[in-house]
Structure 1
């Protein structure tokens, strides 16, 4: 009996909203908003300079963030901007693969920065041209790990039904969580880091299309770490939780966890030609290099994506993967990210002839 073909990545593509926010402009706007606490803000302000971010994209112009916003205003912005980005990212992935929306059998939607019922893929279905019988799988709560975990889920779904086409779309509008009334270190750090964006991927098993096989995926959750990252939900919307400093945690713990992740995917450390990582921030990237035993500066694409787009949560790792796959590269790439839980997620990809 012939072994089933591994799921293949047919394309990966990205999409960005129209408003470009320069870090210097964001810093000045934040200083104005928090001006009543100028002295305290100035002590925290270096995070804007040290974040490794030059620009990021937003679904709203910068003036929007100076006005009070609650659940209704944030949700309207999420639904409008999220649907537009969903369609743009999905269409870009379809165009790259030479496919139509009507070819899609299953849609996996990953988003943790807003609430939509009906979910985003249902709202976007007619505009995009999805079939009425398409299977819909919306996923909430994965945060920054969502792009990697979502790709692993898409691969498993494709493998379960060879020949079916699975569309993964990650949409995150992180900037909508900004709180002008909440002067906290977590809110300031989020303001310095967060951007909006979307990414999509097409996966299919059972044929030889696509130059990249998805050979495995795995996750690791550290016990007793639920408070490291997440959302607080209150009357105003979703408020960011950064209860512990993530860079030192990553530097201390990710390396050992990665050994287990690789083993569960049938890999050893020496098999990996490149790690493609979610760039949560400049200090996080440095911590990842140290924890994974990489030369300083190895994660150059990650730094470029962070500088241009900021931390977009779930889509960011796929922005990195898109650029990694554009280069002539190693046979095996491991895509990895950390997110709420606190969790590390990994997905192994192998180039094929």
Structure 2
């Protein structure tokens, strides 16, 4: 990155339907008890993932009904449009800007399909300019928050004075499915929630932190670790049990390479801010990065309060960290389909 890019604001927003984990387990027992013979053997995963509550796009009764792909995606578009507008208004208000002040619009979402994309659907209500650059990004999953932030920073740095808005929004719950449930579906039901985060960026020294550099690493032959499968019912999760041991053995050398490309050594990082994929993933991250057990406290808190929201989750962690006080140098990181690790290095203002 040629010059640092300031993070002028960071906002989060959740959909209105709160779902305590105990209620999620009770609902799952009703829904899956007869359809999945091994359900009771897997039920402890609802306690093991480290979630107290999460927020959902639709009321609980909606998930008890069968829905085809068209119905699921219609629910995604309606709820995502409302959530996009809400989170962008908060981010613009914090930055002291209007929609007309934004030059670049990056929208990250992998949990539904909106064409026209979400920023186009909300352009009139938010006052976006007709010449704003629109960049919808699909397929990054949990890594999308960090990759999207890095992409927006690179674009802002390339046009001095330009302001970029990045929105990461996922409604994972609309993919909840009753048909032919698998172990991955049970884990996903225990783990995922819905949410959105938005940042305004501008090249220069302003804001609560500067993005100084970014890097990614994609491992070869890892396409089956995480992703979507597509069938007549919609999008079904691919979720390999091998993620925690993969993180323990593979992440550190990849992180060292990414930091080296940014001229940063491990010892120069004051805090790793990590996407909390789940309790076992957090423990694997602490082990791989030699952080010490319990070091990722913001990550555990976000997971407990919101579940794994996919792409916005890393930005929720960053928001919690900045409210507690960012250290001089931190590295925001997330893992996602590919299988890919994404990082953005931050310098506190």
TM bracket, shorter-chain basis: over 0.9
- Cα deviation for residue 12 of structure 1 reads 1.0
Please, which runs of 5 or more residues in structure 1 have no aligned partner?
none
Describe the superposition over 1:231-267 as per-residue Cα deviations: whole angstroms up to 9, x where unpaired. 0011111000013421111111111111011111221
1:25 to 3, 23, 26: 23
Which residue of 2 is the match for residue 277 of structure 1? Answer: 274
Gaps of 5+ in 2: none
Among 327, 330, 333, the alignment partner of 1:330 is: 327
C-alpha separation in 1, matches of 2:96 and 2:49: 38
Per-residue deviation, residues 266-318 of structure 1 (Å, max 9, x unmatched)? 21101100000000101110110000000111100100000000000000000
Q: Give the match's secondary structure for 2:210.
A: strand
Query: How far did residue 4 of structure 1 move?
Result: 6.6
Q: Alpha carbons of 1:218 and 1:150: their partners in 2 closer, same or farther (altered >3 Å)?
A: same
Correspondence for 1:173: 171
Measure the CA separation in 1 of the matches of 2:20 and 2:61: 13
CA distance in structure 2 between the partners assigned to 1:208 and 1:253 by the alignment: 35
Secondary structure in 2 matching 1:36: coil
Quote how far apart the aligned CAs of 1:37 are. 4.3
- Where 2:114 maps in the other structure, the secondary structure is coil
Q: 1:149 deviation in Å?
A: 0.3
Q: Is the 8 A contact 2:286 2:295 kept in 1?
A: yes
Residue in structure 2 matching 1:302, options 299, 302, 309: 299
**Deviations for 1:166-220, whole angstroms, at most 9, x for unmatched residues?**
0000010001111112321100000000100000011111x43213110001000
Q: Which residue of 2 aligns with 1:9?
A: 7
Q: 1:78, 1:279 → 2: CA distance?
A: 23
Mapping 1:184-263, distance limit 5 Å = 184-205=182-203, 207-263=204-260
Once residues 308 and 244 of structure 1 are traced to their aligned partners in structure 2, the CA distance between those partners, rounded to angstroms, is: 23
User: How far off its partner does 1:150 sit?
Assistant: 0.4
| TM-score normalised by the chain length of structure 2 | 0.98
Structure 1 window deviating more from structure 2 (314-323 vs 36-45): it is 36-45
Q: Which stretch shifts more, 228-237 or 33-42?
A: 33-42
Whole-angstrom CA distance in 1 between matches of 2:231 and 2:181: 16
**Contact 2:36/2:181, CA 8 A, preserved across alignment:** no
Q: 1:340 aligns with which of 337, 340, 349?
A: 337
Deviations 1:103-137 (A, max 9, x none): 00010000000011101110111111211111100
Residue pair 2:84, 2:167 contacting (<8 A) in 1 also: yes
How many residue pairs match? The answer is: 349
What value does the CA root-mean-square deviation take over the aligned residues? Answer: 1.2
What is the SS of the residue equivalent to 2:325? coil
- Residue 75 of structure 1: CA displacement? 1.0
Task: Give 1:64's match in structure 2, choosing from 62, 65, 78.
Answer: 62
